[in-house]
Amino acid sequence: MSDDKAQLLEMYRTMVLIRRFEEKCAELYAQGDIGGFLHLYIGQEAVGVGAISALTEDDHVITAYRDHGQAIARGLDLNALMAEMTGKATGVSKGKGGSMHLADVSKNFWGGYAIVGGHLPLATGIALAEQYEERPGVVLCFMGDGSTNIGYFHESLNLAAVWDLPVLWLVENNQYGMGTAVRRASAVEHMTQKAAGYGIPAAQVDGMDVLAVKAATEEALAHIRAGNGPYFLEALTYRFRGHSMGDPERYRQPEEIEQWQEDDPIGHFHNHLLKEKVATEKQLDAVQLQVDEDMAEAVRFAEESPLPTQEDLYADVYVDTPVVKEA
């Protein structure tokens, strides 16, 4: 199998894995095994997989609270992710972060953040550090459309543009900020228009097409790596589930959801792989079977893992930094 075909199959596997992970999390939440808030990525898999597949290991990823999909796409350990979801000590954040605070320093995955837009200044800061240290990394910052209406957004984009920082702003426009439609909360229809005020080049992409997202991300990264400063992408997508598991979804009609589901990103990519003879139906079925086995192992690992101890509550409060002595 060629490298290109292998990468396409891996992208398909990752999208299916994200979908299965989210479905299992919804099940565990209903059983009471996952607490707090739970924001599912079902329907948006093409954005996270397409964008992150274009990155290198030197690049950085930071995102908001709908972070499970990006964490999986970035290659975080599946067992440790499920353990974190269930609040276990073996989780990626040692069971103290949960659904909205997944992170892995070894993967340059700087976490999900529960405060809307609170991670945008951090993305600017990481990009400034990369530039200052003359390192090659680019920061990919995911955000929801609701993040574009707050002060953090404008401050962060402004400084990124002033300093020509290596950061790619990616808005996952899933049409709603919680239960409010974009058209009711934003003065402009297209999020790309908001980048114009800071002189940042912007593009819009079909967020239900993983290959389109990958291509758009590659083009944006080429612009940034050439030293041209930040870039802005808006991926038009849709979440098939509610804003969170507690969402009664009284603000949209079932017919609207069904219409978007007809363009399911996994089904769309599945058909593409068959049409282009990248894989056979049998091969794609095998991928799904393997994903089911991986998920069963992740759940078993989480169930058998211990809860954090009382002492763990006081660990990792401060970073252990060495004392710098004066010469």
For the chain, which residues make up each domain, given as ranges? 3-314
Q: What is the pLDDT of residues 13-24, one digit of tens each?
A: 999 999 999 999
At residue 201, does pLDDT exceed 80?
Answer: yes
Beta bridge partners of 168: 140, 231
Confidence (pLDDT) at 57: 97
Counting beta carbons within 10 angstroms of the beta carbon of residue 79, is it exposed (0 to 12), middle (13 to 18) or buried (19 or more)? buried
* Both tokens assigned to 159: 């400084």
Q: What is the CATH number of domain 3-314?
A: 3.40.50.970
Confidence (pLDDT) at 45: 98
Beta bridge partners of 63: 112
Confidence (pLDDT) at 122: 98
Average pLDDT over residues 35-63: 97
* Both tokens assigned to 250: 């009284």
Q: pLDDT-derived band of residue 282, with 50, 70 and 90 as boundaries? A: very high
Confidence (pLDDT) at 180: 87
| The model scores a pTM over 0.85 | yes
Among left, alpha and beta (phi > 0; psi -120 to 50; other), residue 316 is: left
Average pLDDT over residues 159-178: 96
Average pLDDT over residues 35-39: 94
At residue 177, does pLDDT exceed 80?
Answer: yes
State the chain's mean pLDDT as an integer: 95
Nearest to 293 by CA among 6, 17, 15, 9: 17
Average pLDDT over residues 47-75: 98
Distance CA 127, CA 167 (A): 6
Confidence (pLDDT) at 318: 85
Confidence (pLDDT) at 325: 57
